[in-house]
A and B are shown apart, each in its own frame.
Chain A
Amino acid sequence: MATTTYSKESAGGSLTARALREGFFAGLVAFGLFFLFVGLETTQNIRNELVLNQRWGLLAIFVAVAAAGRFLGVLYVQPWLAARKTAKAAVADKDVPETFLARNFSKLAILALVLMPPVAVALFGVQGSLKWVDNFGIQILIYVMLAWGLNIVVGLAGLLDLGYVAFYAVGAYSYALLSQHFGFSFWILLPLAGILAAFWGMILGFPVLRLKGDYLAIVTLAFGEIIRLVLINWTEVTKGTFGISGIPKASVFGIWSFDVGAANNFAKVFELPMSSAYYKIFLFYVILALALLTAYVTIRLRRMPIGRAWEALREDEIACRSLGINTVTTKLTAFATGAMFGGFAGSFFAVRQGFVSPESFVFLESAIILAIVVLGGMGSLVGIAVAATVMVGGTELLREMTFLKAIFGPDFTPELYRMLIFGLAMVVVMVWKPRGFVGSREPTAFLHERKAVSGSFTKEGHG
């Protein structure tokens, strides 16, 4: 199917004919492909006998979607793409002035995020806002933060880490265990969890110092699994697969609490109706602040010698050394810094869920975080945030798509197709933008920055 190419000559009637023909063949291929997979289904009935269900209706839908998709693709999408390409080529020569939106994208995005909870409350009511603040807001921001943290290791320093979720786990269990056993509050344990995770980042860093690329990836993968297996098997401390529940909630710096019984309960103090939404909104701002901290630190570090050294390390390790950069400490600080943010995110995760178990820290999580970093365009904060929003928000949206049940029958649970769609989206993005959403690296220094800026006000058309 992919062998056909669009050519401009085949306009009008011949294009429609071609679209029809290709649509028909696509339907045929889909029929052949899905005949056994979709058309027939084996299930066990109540007496444990295997019965064969025939699902011709569903098969027909699959075939129809394939045929119609190809038909529309050939008829509309391909010409449109081709037209856009030529349009783009024409525009590329001229200078396109940056729009206000493009210039202030990150500022506007932060403003929108800060305003999101009140807007959600205003639109959907206190209880109705929960879905938007918690399921979308917090969920996405956790992944944004994790991906930004991993970005330091993978995107900046170029060290492929497949076990990042281990640090997330260390942070989560640090908070869960220390708060239960010693009663420390979230605000004390948050930095502590970060430090502990950073410490484990160093521990991982030492043995892998000499490794690169694939070998490094395999060892970090193993490290992630080791941490998870320890969590499962060290039952006296971690309670194994049962996990730890009843993790204390965070408070607003000890001033207001969100425990229902407490005298300084937030809702009581402000004489509001009891709701869990306030806590979620509070958590939303906490994770927003944590994510922004990650971004801020990343941006600052990139301009400092250590951040430069990370980027140089990614590009050429030998050149780094011959310029006097200690690659050992450079790598260790990259691992430790990345791990620290993973630890912050982990303790936030624990406080949000109130429950942690090893199940939350499987390899798939590492893979998703890494996928977000790659999709965003290694190293680009904005790209990564966009990727996290699209991927996590998109899969979260699946839950909302109850109308799909009407098509595929009441048994259809869209969430189960999460990974399938995640994978599909990845393939599409990688084909469309092989270097991720924001693929080009932003330089961190220019000659005579100030002069050039002031110069552009006084004289025109220089450079």
Chain B
Amino acid sequence: MSETLLKVHAVETYYGNIRALAGVDVEVNRGEIVSLIGANGAGKSTLMMTICGSPQARTGTVTFDGQDITRLPTHEIARLRIAQSPEGRRIFPRMTVYENLQMGASLDKLKYFDEDVEKIFTLFPRLKERQAQRGGTLSGGEQQMLSIGRALMARPKLLLLDEPSLGLAPLIVKQIFDAIKVLNKEQGLTVFLVEQNAFAALKLSDRGYVMVNGRVTMSGSGKELLANPEVRAAYLEGGRH
């Protein structure tokens, strides 16, 4: 494919003295969907957060769109249009769905808000029904939709999704993955996602990475990884086929 949008090079991230990432190399090209799979505690969420600058990488570099962002503060990284739906969703519980979406659009001072919010509501009709409800009282799945919707409101160049399918019914997971696919195809949105649901994620993705104990141990196209016996044994057997 083409041009590199995000390049993570030899990144090590620490929590105090604990090394959570031990030299990670990941690349995401413009217009791609790339997924990252791995066991619990492998460091997937840490990589997502490191890209966003909290915590910052101790060594190595993160480059976005040709710019070194390793030492930028989180809010400035966000201003370069990297949006994240983080682990645990982190929506604003006392604000309404509508206000949460407005917060997502605060980078552009709500300039494109009316237009964009309609798109989000077409993508997730559920959110439209619930727009006056407080975020904290939404169901888990609705919160997940809101978290993704809020990230999309920022008009991102790169969308980071940390376990978008967590805790969702299979039907909703399919909806969300379809939505990601649509955004990618129609708007050329670049997506980097972490998933436990390795089968669905790899099927959706152009490429994938496998992470073990803070290192990337395998990478390849989605199809290759799905066919790889090791990946199958570790992440797919017993799961959905």
Interface residues of A (CB under 8 A from B): 305, 308-309, 311-312, 315-316, 318-327, 441, 443-447
Contacts and interface: CB of A to CB of B under 8 A. Distances in A.
B177 to A, nearest CB: 22
B103 A323 contact: yes
A322 B154 CA distance: 10
A323 B154 contact: yes
A309 B103 CA distance: 8
B75 A308 contact: no
B104 interface: yes
B84 A322 contact: yes
Given A308-B99, A443-B132, A324 B106 contact: yes
Contacts of A326: 73, 75
Interface of B: 52, 54, 73-76, 78-79, 83-84, 86, 90-96, 98-99, 102-104, 106-107, 109, 117, 131-132, 134, 150, 154
A445 B83 CA distance: 23
Contacts of B54: 318, 321-322
A445 B86 CA distance: 25
A311 B104 contact: no
Identify the 9 closest CB pairs spanning chains A and B, nearest first.
A324-B78, A321-B74, A319-B90, A315-B92, A324-B107, A443-B96, A324-B79, A326-B75, A321-B75
Nearest to B128: A447
B102 A308 contact: yes
B75 A312 contact: no
A319 B93 CA distance: 11
A447 B132 CA distance: 8
Contacts of A443: 95-96, 98-99, 132
B95 A323 contact: no
A105 to B, nearest CB: 22
A446 B74 contact: no
A315 B83 CA distance: 19
A445 B99 contact: yes
A326 B91 CA distance: 17
Given A311-B95, A443-B99, A447-B98, A322 B86 contact: yes
A447 B92 contact: no
A309 B105 CA distance: 12
B154 A447 contact: no
Given A308-B99, A446-B98, 9 more contacts: A315-B95, A316-B90, A321-B54, A321-B73, A321-B74, A321-B75, A322-B86, A441-B95, A446-B131
A312 B103 contact: yes
Nearest to A313: B92
Among A311, A326, A444, A445: residue with most chain B CB under 10 A: A445
A444 B86 contact: no
A305 B96 CA distance: 16
B103 A308 contact: yes
Contacts of A445: 96, 98-99, 102
Contacts of B52: 321-322
Contacts of A447: 98, 117, 131-132
